[in-house]
Amino acid sequence: MNYNKNFFTIFGNPVSHSASPKMHNYLFKTLNIDSCYSRYLLKDGSTLRETFFKLGVVGANITVPHKEEAFKACDEVIGIAKELGVVNTIIKKDNKLIGYNTDADGFYYALSEYFPLKNALIIGAGGTAKAISKKLKNENIDVSILNRSQNRLNDYKEFKTYTWDDAHKLERYDVIINTTSAGLEDEFLPAPIEILEKLLKSTKAVVEVIYGKETPFLKEAIKRSLPYKDGSQMLLMQGVLANHHFINYEYDLKTIEKIMKKSFDI
């Protein structure tokens, strides 16, 4: 089979829901870049490397559940991906696979509108919280974590951590970030309203990682006229940074962001 010279894909399982093909293809088309981006249902993550070469792709994104396998598939890993052990973007260079994590960097870029930030409270302690907390810490932002239960907090030894039971010890934070899945498919808040009320009274901004929905958490921020962002900005920026690698930095980030953002409207 013949493949396009600049052929990209996203590996995942499931992958049919992914917005990445639309985002990257819209950018290629708008800038007249002779490339295309598809999606590939990869069932066995351990075959990622051989599948990458077999398909003849020159770059790829990796989504759930293969981001850790993607890290192992690379010859070299750059930036925060090395610390996280998690890769979501791969570029082929001189027949070697180079890995990056644009999720963490994309989130940080999206957050930059609220800079300077002295401290941040992350609600939730799952995979997304791990990436975001490390990135913010590396950028000298003082990070605390609030989770409903203790178990996952044991992975956050380098941070101040709280459960709902000791939430009375929480301080004031420049930004409150919800990384839980509360509100994704239900109408739950990520923490009891008494806890959130106190936090929202003294914060400067609110960020939600869920996208495409006004979650109960966002509604609380809107009620209080707080500046807020939902997860679409994070989704957009991970794509912008990945594309920047794909097109060999030929266009600047602002140009890519402006165009890719429009793909959300189609």
Closer to ligand NDP by CB, 79 or 127: give it: 127
Backbone phi and psi for residue 218, each to the nearest 5 degrees, phi listed first: -65, -40
Backbone phi and psi for residue 222, each to the nearest 5 degrees, phi listed first: -65, -40
Helix segments in 74-214, DSSP class H = 80-84, 102-111, 127-138, 193-202
Catalytic, out of 67, 134, 135, 229: 67
* 43 in active site: no
Q: Considering just the CA atoms, what is the radius of gyration of the chain in Å?
A: 19
Site for ligand NDP contains 211 (CB under 6 A)? yes
- Beta carbons of 129 and 179 less than 8 angstroms apart: yes
- Residues between 159 and 198 with contacts to ligand NDP, criterion CB under 6 A: 179-182, 184, 188, 190
Cα gap 123→34, rounded to integer Å: 42
Residue listed under structure tokens 């799952």: 126
Count, residues near ligand NDP per rule CB under 6 A: 24
Closer to ligand NDP by CB, 129 or 205: give it: 129
Site for ligand NDP contains 209 (CB under 6 A)? yes
Query: Closest separation between CB of residue 189 and ligand NDP, Å?
Result: 7
Query: Closest separation between CB of residue 93 and ligand NDP, Å?
Result: 26
Closer to ligand NDP by CB, 86 or 259: give it: 86
Encoded tokens for 84: 């996280």
Contacting residues toward ligand NDP, per CB under 6 A: 103, 124-129, 147-149, 152, 179-182, 184, 188, 190, 209-211, 231, 234-235
